Amino acid sequence: MAVAAAGPRRIELKGVMVDYLLQRSPRRSVALRVDARGVRVGAPLALPLRTVEGFLREHADWLLDKLAQRAARAPLNPWRLVDGAEVPVFGEAVRIALGRTVRGHRWVRQDAGGEGLELPGDQAERALVRALEQRGLDWFRERVGDFCDRLGRPSPPVRLTRARTRWGSCSSRTGIRLHWRLVHLPPELIDYVVAHEVAHLVEMNHSPRFWAVVEGLYPHWREARRELRRASASLPNILPGDAGHPLEEE
């Protein structure tokens, strides 16, 4: 029986050619995942290739549906950093002005109302991300502190992450990490992610006890979770690799 080495492979599923990455490890079962890096299949070290492919054919409908959903979410007109472009910050449009400052960034009030962001003509992308990260981190730390107060717990260190698939994470050792792109979302959706991660300070799992803590902090978490998945598909793709992020809460 053939046992394929780990690496990129291709299979035809219902007339569609699907590329996938086969990953071998001392696991006991086959695992299938679709994320920002594509289709990945985890398989036991000695499992025959035909068994792996049989597993893929058995789950062809699910896999093709996931790939179709990802293709539908891909932006037809990727966001571009140009003078006059708008970027969402806490759910509100912020107009960008390029070349209005020598270096760094400057938040300004628009004559017609709302907020604007002035960026240098050179290295504008870096300045934009730095501005958004600074604005977001201040907000995230305040919200983490508020939810921790509700639980009667000290606020842990809060840092930013650029993880490819997660909105956030919580560790008893390093604290809470929140994705910088959360800054684009409305405050109520940011609060859901923050509440989710803060709840992990009580329950480091996704058991019913964990979700009870989430509900105590954020009663409408089910609706927010659905909206978060929908809203994430429309975020601007500022950095290379942002497009198509299947970001989820952890």
The contacts found for 7-15 with CB under 8 angstroms, 24 or more apart, are 11/53, 11/56, 11/57, 13/56, 13/57, 13/60, 13/63, 13/64, 14/60, 14/61, 14/64
At 174, list the tokens.
């390093």
pLDDT number for residue 246: 44
Q: Are residues 93 and 207 in the same domain?
A: yes
User: Who wins on pLDDT, 92 or 242?
Assistant: 92
At 62-82, the pLDDT tens digits run 999 888 777 666 554 568 888
CA distances from 102 to 57, 90, 115, 123, 216 (A): 57, 26, 20, 11, 47
Among 114-123, 196-205, 240-249, the range scoring the smallest mean pLDDT is 240-249
Structural domain of 227: 86-234
Beta bridge partners of 17: 12
- Residue 173 forms part of a structural domain: yes
pTM > 0.85: no
Q: Are residues 220 and 110 in the same domain?
A: yes
- Residue 248 forms part of a structural domain: no
Q: Are residues 100 and 61 in the same domain?
A: no
Instruction: Please give the tally of structural domains in the chain.
Output: 2
Q: Are residues 62 and 112 in the same domain?
A: no
Q: Are residues 218 and 96 in the same domain?
A: yes
Q: Is 186 helix (H, G, I), strand (E, B) or coil?
A: coil
- Residue 247 forms part of a structural domain: no
Are 53 and 212 spatial neighbours (Cβ–Cβ below 8 Å)? no
DSSP secondary structure code for residue 235 in this structure: S
Q: Are residues 45 and 147 in the same domain?
A: no
Pairing of strands 16-25, 38-44: parallel
Q: Are residues 129 and 187 in the same domain?
A: yes
Cα–Cα distance between 187 and 143 in angstroms, integer?
Answer: 10
Q: Are residues 51 and 101 in the same domain?
A: no
Are 191 and 218 spatial neighbours (Cβ–Cβ below 8 Å)? yes
At 179-237, the pLDDT tens digits run 999 999 999 999 999 999 999 999 999 999 999 999 999 999 988 988 887 788 778 88
Give me the chain's average pLDDT, please.
87
> Who contacts 55 (Cβ-Cβ below 8 Å, separation ≥6)?
30, 32, 41
- Residue 197 forms part of a structural domain: yes
Q: Are residues 127 and 210 in the same domain?
A: yes
